[in-house]
């Protein structure tokens, strides 16, 4: 990252950067900039780092409230290496075997292994040798897709649609990347159960698999080929480790501090003013807060012919129990009968699922210290409409929907779940909105074609020379790996501007 000369501001001093938000994108940005010689202030309103990778302490249970799936640890390592550190020195990353377990309405189950040979054997066992051959072809395709997209479309800056042009665009088109995800998977696999396993990740992109660009099947590569990990101590340990590394590299991390306003001089942001009465001067500012809030702080109104489209939301139920169920892996997907109807109900109808498909994460299988002795922790995620698509009074309906989710889980093999609960927390789209997330979704903007690559909100802001955006609302998009890249890209913008200023 370091361009060879220390970053300087006026009067020869080191350039100062203020980062709003100690989420993973903001911390990645802080690490890259600290390693390049900048003075960095990170301001976070919560009393802990991590942002959407949040935490909740619940009667002795240590709960991750945000993402539960960690892939692509090399992107984390890249951020740590910017300050001469290493992810392996900071975190104990435990590979998950299987990465997922899937149960279907017909009573069958399939384990997802990231090892090529083990997964081919599992597919042959459950679906036949011909499907195993199709799986191997799909795996090779996903690997090629990742290689093209990472270098030219994910880890890349965009200032114009013309930036797409190049040999990799041709390669992506030749691979059918601008077709649809579900049909692309279907060309390799006939078994509907397997098709779901390699396309449910479209939920992360906020678009039904039948409508999502085939290019986004790269998320399935991250989940099913590159490997799924769990950090000892939970996902909360990631933000804590990054914040510690940044502080040791010289960054100042201000927790429990809110930004009241930005001090603007013409087309430049000169300082942040906090709720503690501090004025933090800056030569550059990075905003990682939710996109509408960042634009509001900057006094910016994007020019768009149509409004941004937001991804579906989720209802999350955190359950501390006095028992668990051996059929659950660390991550278990419980599919309902009517998979495609699920998306129609959530995305088009703005209603909850009539036949829920649910993700159940059991982190205490891998790290028992996250719960009191003899207790277990379960994280249940149910996709749900965001507050723009749906008109649900969640404060009233949330507890009823909680009971429906628990009843569904009991019918699908978790008998006695309700009576085993000794601590719980329900999180609905209304709760996400109260946390400052637009339209009550933690997944930000959907990855439609019109909100992909150069068409997604850029990480630069018209009319402000020294402000940069990072996080899931800007490029490259939603998900833990991509927000880490987003932080690096924001740091690169500042380095580029600093270099132009020296020239």
- DSSP E strand boundaries for 266-410: 268-274, 279-281, 284-287, 313-321, 331-334, 358-361, 376-384
Report d(CA 152, CA 236) in Å as an integer.
31
Q: What's the rounded mean pLDDT across residues 35-59?
A: 96
Report d(CA 142, CA 24) in Å as an integer.
26
> Using one digit for the tens of pLDDT, what is the confidence trace for 134-157?
999 999 999 999 998 887 888 888
> Using one digit for the tens of pLDDT, what is the confidence trace for 333-365?
999 998 888 888 998 899 999 999 999 999 999
Q: How confident is the model at residue 2 (pLDDT cuts 50, 70, 90)?
A: very low
Report d(CA 477, CA 188) in Å as an integer.
27
Count the alpha carbons within 13 Å of 415 in the hemisphere toward its beta carbon.
Answer: 1
Identify which has the larger pLDDT, 480 or 500. 480
Q: Out of 13-27, 268-282, 302-316, 326-340, which region has the weakest mean confidence (pLDDT)? A: 302-316
**pLDDT at residue 502 greater than cutoff 60:** no
Six-digit token pair at 304? 């768009």
> Using one digit for the tens of pLDDT, what is the confidence trace for 400-435?
999 999 999 999 999 999 999 999 999 999 999 999
Give the rounded percent of residues in the chain with a pLDDT score beyond 70: 97
- Taking CA atoms, 501 is separated from 5, 325, 385, in Å, by 13, 60, 46
Q: How confident is the model at residue 503 (pLDDT cuts 50, 70, 90)?
A: very low
**pLDDT at residue 1 greater than cutoff 50:** no
**DSSP-derived secondary structure for 21-58:** --BHHHHHHHHHHHHTT-EEEEE-SSSSSBTTS-EEEE
Six-digit token pair at 386? 């965001």
pLDDT value at position 168? 77
- Taking CA atoms, 469 is separated from 75, 147, 156, 271, 319, in Å, by 19, 26, 14, 16, 35
Six-digit token pair at 452? 């992909």
pLDDT value at position 7? 62
Q: Out of 149-153, 194-198, 416-420, 489-493, which region has the weakest mean confidence (pLDDT)? A: 149-153
How is residue 280 annotated by DSSP?
Answer: E
3-state SS, one letter per residue, for 207-256: CCCCCCEHHHHHHHHHHHHHCCEEECCCCHHHHHHHHHHHHHCCCEEECC
Q: What's the rounded mean pLDDT across residues 292-300?
A: 93
Q: Out of 64-68, 101-105, 216-220, which region has the weakest mean confidence (pLDDT)? A: 216-220
The residue among 34, 471, 70 whose CA lies nearest residue 243 is 34
pLDDT value at position 12? 57
pLDDT value at position 4? 43
Six-digit token pair at 302? 């994007």
Identify which has the larger pLDDT, 37 or 3. 37
**pLDDT at residue 236 greater than cutoff 80:** yes
- Where does 10-60+233-307+448-502 sit in CATH, by number? 3.50.50.60
Strands 268-274 and 279-281: antiparallel
pLDDT value at position 167? 83
- Report which secondary-structure segment, H or E, holds 421: strand 421-427
In the block, tokens 């780092």 appear at 49
| φ/ψ (deg, to 5) at 298 | -85, -10
Can you give the residue ranges of every domain in the chain? 10-60+233-307+448-502, 116-224, 312-440
Q: How confident is the model at residue 5 (pLDDT cuts 50, 70, 90)?
A: very low
- DSSP E strand boundaries for 304-375: 313-321, 331-334, 358-361
Q: Is residue 444 left, alpha or beta, with left meaning phi > 0 and alpha meaning psi from -120 to 50?
A: left
Q: What's the rounded mean pLDDT across residues 207-214?
A: 87
- Where does 312-440 sit in CATH, by number? 3.30.519
pLDDT value at position 9? 58
Q: How confident is the model at residue 501 (pLDDT cuts 50, 70, 90)?
A: low
The model's pTM is 0.94
370 in Cβ contact with 61 (< 8 Å): yes
């Amino acid at each position: 990252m370091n361009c060879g000369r220390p970053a300087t501001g006026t009067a020869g001093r080191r350039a100062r950067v203020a980062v709003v938000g100690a989420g993973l994108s903001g911390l990645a940005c802080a690490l890259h900039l600290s390693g390049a010689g900048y003075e960095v202030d990170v301001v976070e309103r919560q009393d802990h780092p991590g942002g959407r990778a949040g935490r909740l302490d619940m009667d002795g249970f240590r709960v991750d409230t945000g993402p539960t799936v960690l892939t692509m640890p090399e992107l984390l390592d890249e951020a740590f290496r910017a300050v001469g550190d290493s992810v392996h020195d900071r975190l104990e990353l435990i590979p998950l075997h299987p990465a997922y377990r899937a149960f279907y309405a017909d009573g069958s189950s399939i384990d997802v292994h990231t090892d090529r040979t083990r997964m081919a054997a599992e597919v042959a066992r459950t679906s036949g040798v011909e499907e195993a051959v199709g799986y191997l072809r799909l795996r090779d395709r996903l690997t090629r897709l990742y290689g093209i997209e990472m270098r030219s479309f994910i880890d890349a800056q965009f200032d114009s649609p013309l930036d797409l042009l190049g040999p990799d665009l041709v390669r992506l088109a030749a691979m059918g990347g601008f077709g649809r995800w579900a049909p692309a998977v279907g060309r390799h696999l006939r078994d509907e159960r397997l098709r779901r396993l390699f396309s449910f990740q479209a939920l992360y992109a906020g678009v039904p698999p039948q409508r999502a660009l085939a290019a986004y099947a790269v998320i399935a590569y991250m989940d099913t080929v590159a490997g799924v990990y769990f950090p000892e101590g939970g996902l909360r340990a990631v933000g804590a480790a990054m914040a510690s590394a940044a502080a040791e590299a010289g960054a100042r991390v201000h927790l429990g501090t809110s930004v009241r306003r930005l001090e603007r001089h013409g087309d430049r942001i000169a300082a942040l003013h906090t709720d503690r009465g501090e004025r933090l001067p800056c030569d550059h500012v990075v905003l990682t807060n939710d996109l509408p809030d960042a634009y509001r702080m900057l006094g910016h109104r994007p020019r768009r012919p149509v409004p941004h489209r937001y991804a579906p939301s989720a209802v999350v139920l955190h359950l501390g129990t006095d028992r668990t169920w051996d059929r659950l892996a660390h991550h278990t997907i419980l599919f309902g009968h009517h998979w495609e109807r699920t998306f129609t109900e959530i995305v088009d109808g703005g209603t909850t699922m009539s036949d829920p498909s649910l993700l159940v994460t059991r982190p205490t299988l891998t790290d028992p210290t996250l719960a009191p002795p003899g207790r277990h922790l379960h994280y249940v995620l149910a996709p749900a409409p965001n507050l723009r698509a749906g008109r649900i009074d969640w404060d009233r309906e949330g507890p009823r929907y909680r009971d429906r989710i628990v009843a569904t889980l009991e019918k699908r093999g978790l008998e006695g779940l309700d009576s085993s609960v000794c601590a719980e927390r329900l999180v609905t789209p209304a709760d996400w909105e109260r946390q400052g997330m637009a339209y009550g979704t933690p997944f930000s903007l959907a990855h439609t074609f019109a909100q992909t690559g150069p068409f997604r909100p850029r990480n630069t802001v018209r009319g402000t020379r020294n402000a940069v955006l990072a996080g899931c609302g800007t490029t490259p998009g939603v998900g833990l790996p991509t927000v880490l890249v987003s932080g690096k890209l924001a740091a690169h913008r500042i380095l580029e501007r600093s270099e132009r200023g020296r020239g």
